[in-house]
Amino acid sequence: RDAFPDVRIETVNSRIQDCSGSLDHRFDLAVSSLAYHHMPLEQKKIHLARLKPWIDHFILFEIDANNDAPEVYSPELALSVYQSYGSIVDAVFSHDAPVDVAIACVDLFLMAEVISLLTQPRGVRSDYHMLQSQWHALFTECLGPEFAPGCHSPCYADEHTTLFTMHYGREA
């Protein structure tokens, strides 16, 4: 703040679906970090359209997984969940945290998501990760020609999953 005293910094720490309809002034930047995947594509479109008039830049940090479109019990969903969550579980156990902490992390957080994905239909389950190409299509459709893709970069990758960042900015 000392370097830019006239710049207003405001954080809205909320679920997108809880704030997208109530914004009433511009934000230079909206950041979504592992938060926009908790609703199906149809709802993602609604909330992105609501955000569009109020933001100049949108940065998304998400996991690359095909967990939105496939229906419950489908082979596509089972494979995607296995690949994405299997890698995450492996990463949890490969670090030097105490075993009881690693087990709690997996049992209390990751497995709750896995169970929701594998047993609940679209519209009910808690997670809807999408592939990078699906996010790009969503941004292109909802943000239109007023926004252009900027940075698109993997932040972490292994043989089964990728954590990535995408930036879309309003054209000047």
Sketch the domain layout of the chain as residue ranges: 1-64+129-172, 69-124
Nearby residues of 80 by Cβ (< 8 Å), 6 or more positions away: 65, 66, 67, 70, 129
Provide the pLDDT for residue 168. 97
Provide the pLDDT for residue 1. 67
Provide the pLDDT for residue 35. 86
pLDDT along the chain (172 residues), means of 10: 81 85 91 91 96 96 96 97 93 93 96 96 94 97 95 92 95 80
The class (CATH top level) of 1-64+129-172 is alpha beta
Which two three-digit tokens encode residue 92? 């949890």
Distance CA 59, CA 66 (A): 20
Letter for the amino acid at 96? D
Provide the pLDDT for residue 18. 87
pTM: 0.89
Provide the pLDDT for residue 121. 96
Which two three-digit tokens encode residue 25? 């002034």
Provide the pLDDT for residue 160. 87
Query: What pairing do the DSSP bridges indicate for beta strands 55-63 and 27-33?
Result: parallel
Residue 92 burial (CB count, 10 A): 17
Provide the pLDDT for residue 79. 96
- Tell me 29's DSSP state: E
